[in-house]
């Protein structure tokens, strides 16, 4: 199973590298769905595990008082400022098969990280990219109430229902949309015009 997930991660990274290769510099500077981050900041964040040592991450975490989001924001901003788009794209292309996984997240956590941040880019830019359902099923199947809490999404009294695959989450008033849009909702992204 782990090898299948690894192959899926590689496929997602290849797809994203191809997509990013076709962006203009203006698109790289455009806002993403991650509050306060441009597309370039997002790619700096997703390629961080390939470009930085564990020592750097630990030092940044210590400087941030153990607050991961603060450390992550600081590193993304610094790296986006000090790297060209070509540098970041090269880091992604050269690490398609990198074994990084987030702490406690395992391979599905790595896939989730790539897919969610990929959607942060494509959705914000209005690029109609459909994440393959086999990938979405792995990510959505791993979602728990703790994920919703971590991202700060308010889904109390709502039942998420995918319109393009068999997936539901929660109880209450139905909120219907494509599975990838519901994934963004679970992750606290603001996409009201994509929901019904």
Q: What is the DSSP string of 28-64?
A: HTSB-SSTT-BHHHHHHHHTHHHHS-HHHHHHHHHHT
- What's residue 196's pLDDT? 73
Phi/psi at 56 (5° precision): -60, -45
Question: Residue 63 — pLDDT band, cuts 50, 70, 90?
Answer: very high
- What's residue 47's pLDDT? 98
What is the token pair recorded at 127? 């690029």
Tell me the average pLDDT across 173-181.
Answer: 96
Q: CB–CB of 107/2 below 8 Å?
A: yes
Question: Residue 147 — pLDDT band, cuts 50, 70, 90?
Answer: confident
Mean pLDDT computed over every residue of the chain: 95
Tell me the average pLDDT across 152-169.
Answer: 94
Summarize pLDDT for 28-47 with one digit per residue, the tens: 999 999 999 999 999 999 99
Phi/psi at 158 (5° precision): -125, 140
Task: Considering the chain, tell me which residue range(s) the CATH 1.20.120 domain(s) occupy.
Answer: 2-131
- pTM, entire model: 0.95
CB contact set of 154 (below 8 Å; sequence gap of 6+) = none
Dihedral of alpha carbons 128, 40, 138, 140, sign: negative
Which CATH number does the domain 2-131 belong to among 2.60.310, 1.20.120, 1.10.3470, 3.30.70?
1.20.120
């Amino acid at each position: 199973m782990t090898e299948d997930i690894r192959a899926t991660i590689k496929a997602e990274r290849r797809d994203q590298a191809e997509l990013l290769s076709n962006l203009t510099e203006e698109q790289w500077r455009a806002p993403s769905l991650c509050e306060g981050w441009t597309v370039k900041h997002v790619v700096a964040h997703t390629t961080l595990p390939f470009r930085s040592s564990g020592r750097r991450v630990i030092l940044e975490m210590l400087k941030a008082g153990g607050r991961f989001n603060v450390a992550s924001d600081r590193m993304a901003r610094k790296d986006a400022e000090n790297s060209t788009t070509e540098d970041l794209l090269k880091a992604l292309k050269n690490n398609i098969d990198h074994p990084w996984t987030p702490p406690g997240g395992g391979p599905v956590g790595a896939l989730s990280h790539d897919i969610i941040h990929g959607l942060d880019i494509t959705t914000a830019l209005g690029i109609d990219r459909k994440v393959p359902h086999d990938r979405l099923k792995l990510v959505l199947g791993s979602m728990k109430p703790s994920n919703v809490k971590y991202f700060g999404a308010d889904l109390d009294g709502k039942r998420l229902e995918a319109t393009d695959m068999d997936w539901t989450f929660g109880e209450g008033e139905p909120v219907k949309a494509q599975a990838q849009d519901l994934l963004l909702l679970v992750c606290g992204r603001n996409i009201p015009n994509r929901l019904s």
